[in-house]
Chains A and B, each alone.
Chain A
Amino acid sequence: MAFKFPSDEWVKEFARQINSSKAYEESGKDWEGDWIFIVEADEAYPKTVYFFIGLYHGKVTDAAMIENENARPAQYYMRGSFSTWRKTIEGKLDPIQGLMTRKFKLKGNLMKVLRYPRSAKELVNCVMRVPTEFPNQQST
């Protein structure tokens, strides 16, 4: 079964993948900080959408698609176009590379994020394990 992106079901499956990852549990064992991912509208998708992902000591505390970026408090906000997020979900764009080339914009303590490179990598591994169906596509 593929999960439609963007959707609440999709982000909940992403959370399930993270919570079943031993590697993420290890690498994020000291991490404290909730995220809001902002998927901005572009030519490939017409609407901006928002995901909340609570992360605490190697586990997801909550994950949901939310109305706007102020709907939940968070420490980190990562913003990029739909097409940029799609490349990351498909494993074609390293999110840290994305930040360095300004494809993504980050609000929050970047230096703290850079101290957890393995967590970032494991999150990408988890997102790639989510069977994802993008708009105008049967399945991935």
Chain B
Amino acid sequence: MWNFISPRIVFGEGALDALDELVGNRALIVTDKGVVELGLVNKVIAHLKKASIEVCVFDEVEPDPSVQTVRKGAEVALQLQPDWVIGIGGGSPIDAAKAIWILYERPDIEPAAIAPVGDLGLRKKARLITIPTTSGTGSEVTWAIVLTDAEEKRKMGLGNQENVADIAIVDPEMAMSMPPRLTADTGLDALVHAIEGYTCTWHTDLTDGLCLHAARLVFQYLPRAVVDGQDLEARTRMHNAATCAGLGFGNAMASMAHAMGHSLGGAFHVPHGRAVAIFLPYTIEFCALEESARFADLAVLLGCVNSDTEHNGVKAAHSLAYYVRDLCHKVGNPTSVAEAGIPRKTYEAQLDKLVDDALNDTQMVTAIRTPTVEEMRRLFIYAYEGLPVDF
């Protein structure tokens, strides 16, 4: 038995118009200052005005939102008593919106206790809308929440199936202002979601199609969206790809590249999408040496292999890894930790922590091959040097 969780998804050009019909009195918008400055919050407010909904904006969400910020947002919500909470932005504001909504509904619980098991009893006071302004995290359709405990300097993977949004509004107009670097980083995040969602041990028939199609869209449209941010077709397809990948991996799981990426991001503040995309080819090569079938299958379906002899096994999986690195090169992203600009000595000094954090990341549970401590250490070293994995 398994569940497939999804919000109602309104997508495509003009999707924001769905807000015109919203029924309610007050909305709390959770976002960051950058999204406000780009005028994206005002676009949403204009629609909410048509629905006669009073709006309050909480724009204090920082990158990697902290428990402390979420508590502050919940205080605002408790004073305002909104019947809608609306998260607008990339993964950080949307994750913060989910957590603020939960603490508004359930002021009795600690953020660290937002767990996958148990009933939260949400939707007594408000419902949640998510509006992504980047094309990558998939947070608009997943129930995962990543918060940082600023005191312990630790990222916490939280969430409960109940806290998935009621409505996700996936309007490409909201992503048009992303600069090329952000477009590349977040687009690669979507690719990693798609490939890990397809190849992790929790994949299902209901998620495979979404992950496969999302990966196809990213390979085809991400280079265009990076080169020309005003390419509406590329922006639209990338926005859809991110949501498809979010539904796919959100109802399966991510895997080892995410575990390693979280670890690197926590230690060196490498943007999430950039970090996970660096590690993906190495984890494909590592896993495929023991169990190559899913990677080979995906490589064939994505057209990464040329001849019949390459259609099976490790060789096909390595072709998939090659295509991922090739896409990173095309969009100007690093394919090794060294290329990401992290000094060797600093990296080596953190290696024990990187290994430990990655092995204890919840995403590791779905890896098709579980590395030992020594193998994980070698993976981090190979990923630093840019060496193809041969063990």
Which residues of A does B touch, CB under 8 Å? 23, 26-27, 94, 96-97, 99-103, 106, 110-111, 114-118, 120-122
B3 near A117 with CB under 8 A, answer no
Per-residue A-contact encoding for B111-122, CB less than 8 Å = 1, 0 else: 011011110000
Cα A102 to Cα B112 in complex, Å, equals 20
Contacts of B113 in A (CB 8 A): 111
Could you tell me the distance in whole angstroms from the C-beta of B287 to the nearest C-beta in chain A? 14
The answer to whether the Cβ of B2 comes within 8 Å of any Cβ in the partner chain is yes
Cβ 8 A contact of B372, one of A23, A97, A114, A117: A23
What's the minimum C-beta distance from B138 to chain A, rounded to whole angstroms? Answer: 18
> A97 to chain B: which residues have CB within 8 Å?
2, 202
Asked, given contacts A102-B117, A115-B360, whether A121 binds B112 with beta carbons under 8 Å apart, the answer is: no
Known contacts: A101-B2, A114-B362, A118-B359. The answer to whether A94 contacts B202 by CB under 8 A is: yes
Extra inter-chain contacts (6) besides given A99-B116, A114-B157, CB under 8 Å? A26-B373, A101-B2, A110-B115, A110-B117, A114-B116, A115-B362
Task: Return 6 A-B CB contacts under 8 Å, by A number.
Answer: A23-B372, A94-B365, A114-B157, A115-B360, A117-B362, A118-B359
CB B203 to nearest CB in A, in angstroms, measures 12
Q: Which residue of B lies closest to A110 (CB)?
A: B115
Q: In the bound complex, how far is the Cα of B253 from the Cα of A114, in angstroms?
A: 14
Cβ–Cβ contact A118 & B364, under 8 A: yes
Q: Contact mask B334-363 → A, CB, 8 Å, 1/0? A: 000000000000000000000000011111
B10 to chain A, nearest CB (A): 28
> How far is B253's CA from A96's CA once the two chains are assembled, in angstroms?
12
A9 to B112, CA, bound (A): 39
Q: A96-B365, A101-B3, A103-B1 are in contact. Are A27 and B359 (CB under 8 A)?
A: yes
B117 touches A99 (CB 8 A): yes
A residues near B365, Cβ cutoff 8 Å? 94, 96, 117-118, 120-121
- On B, residues with C-beta under 8 Å from A are 1-3, 112-113, 115-118, 157, 161, 201-202, 359-365, 370, 372-373
> CA of A57 to CA of B195 in the docked complex: distance in angstroms?
35
**Inter-chain contact B372/A101, CB cutoff 8 Å:** no
Distance of A97 from chain B, by nearest CB (Å)? 7
Residues of B within 8 A of A110 (CB): 115-118
With A94-B201, A97-B2, A110-B117 as given contacts, are A116 and B360 in contact (CB-CB < 8 Å)? yes
- A121 and B370 within 8 A (CB): yes
Question: A99–B116 Cα gap in the complex (Å)?
Answer: 8
Per a CB cutoff under 8 Å, which of B118, B157, B361, B372 touches A26?
B372
In the bound complex, what is the Cα–Cα distance between A122 and B365 (angstroms)? 10
Are B201 and A101 interface neighbours, CB within 8 A? no
- Provide the residues of chain B in CB contact with A116, threshold 8 Å: 360
Report whether A106 and B117 are in contact in the complex, using a CB–CB cutoff of 8 Å: yes
Please give, as numbers and ranges, the residues of chain B lying within 8 Å of A23 by CB-CB distance.
Answer: 370, 372
Chain B hits for A120, CB < 8 A: 365
Complex Cα spacing A134 to B115, Å: 33
Q: Return the chain A residue nearest B360 by Cβ.
A: A115
* Nearest CB in chain B: distance from A27 CB, A: 7
Q: Which residue of B is nearest A119, CB measured?
A: B360
Closest CB of chain B to A102's CB: distance in Å? Answer: 7
Contact of A117 with B360 at beta-carbon distance under 8 Å, contacts A26-B373, A111-B112 already known: yes
B112, B360, B364: which has the most chain A beta carbons within 10 Å?
A: B360
